[in-house]
Amino acid sequence: MPHTELILIGIGSCIVFDVWQRLFQIFTSIPPSNWTLVGRWFIGLISNGQLIASQLSQQPEAKHETPTGWVVHYAVGIVYAYVLFILVQLGIFEPTITHGLVFGVASVLVPWLFFMPAMGNGIMASKTPTPKVACALALMMHSLFGLSLGVGFSTLLA
């Protein structure tokens, strides 16, 4: 199994994700993902076993929450690369840009049905002021992330 390549693909796809969010913010004023809150959620999960957070932004800051959030973000990106690799090995996907996009679109179910509720925002961001916008942004970002995975797979693993 090509561990180094998968790690590089996961990290590279996260970098594309993060750079795009910052460029998108310049044109739309929509802020990028808040990895600090992800870190706060993750620290709460590890220290208290609290899977579903409530009013996460109102909870006290946790020590090292910002770097923890960034590490979680990149670790999840690497896990996605491994999941896509497994699906390629099973013959469900091919190491192509198109299949990367399809995988990215399908992967948006994870934030919609797990991360958004776990961070206290409800299923498909139903507890936020603009659930449709939050879901559309997640779909855009996971589509871009999937495309990046597809480029990585078609370049390094094909």
What pTM, to 2 d.p., does this model score? 0.94
CA distance 154 to 158: 5
For residue 1, the model assigns a pLDDT of 61
Q: Identify the CA nearest to 30 among candidates 41, 19, 22, 38.
A: 22
- Joined tokens for residue 68: 């923890």
CB atoms within 10 A of CB 116: 22
Residue 116 neighbours by CB under 8 Å, 6+ apart: 122, 123, 124, 125, 134, 138
CA distance 156 to 12: 12
Separation of CA 74 from chain center: 8
DSSP for 18-81, written as a single string = HHHHHHHHHHH-PPPP-HHHHHHHHHHHHHH---S-SSGGGSPPPTTHHHHHHHHHHHHHHHHH
Does residue 158 register a pLDDT over 80? no
Q: For helices 131-156 and 65-89, give the axis angle rounded to 10 degrees.
A: 60
Average pLDDT over residues 112-124: 95
For residue 48, the model assigns a pLDDT of 87
Question: For 135-149, what is each residue's pLDDT tens digit?
Answer: 999 999 999 999 999
For residue 11, the model assigns a pLDDT of 98
Question: For 94-117, what is each residue's pLDDT tens digit?
Answer: 999 999 999 999 999 999 999 999
CA distance 65 to 22: 20
User: Residue 54's pLDDT band (boundaries 50, 70, 90)?
Assistant: confident
Can you give the residue ranges of every domain in the chain?
Answer: 3-156
User: Residue 22's pLDDT band (boundaries 50, 70, 90)?
Assistant: very high
CA distance 32 to 22: 6
Average pLDDT over residues 66-87: 98
User: Residue 50's pLDDT band (boundaries 50, 70, 90)?
Assistant: confident
User: Residue 57's pLDDT band (boundaries 50, 70, 90)?
Assistant: confident
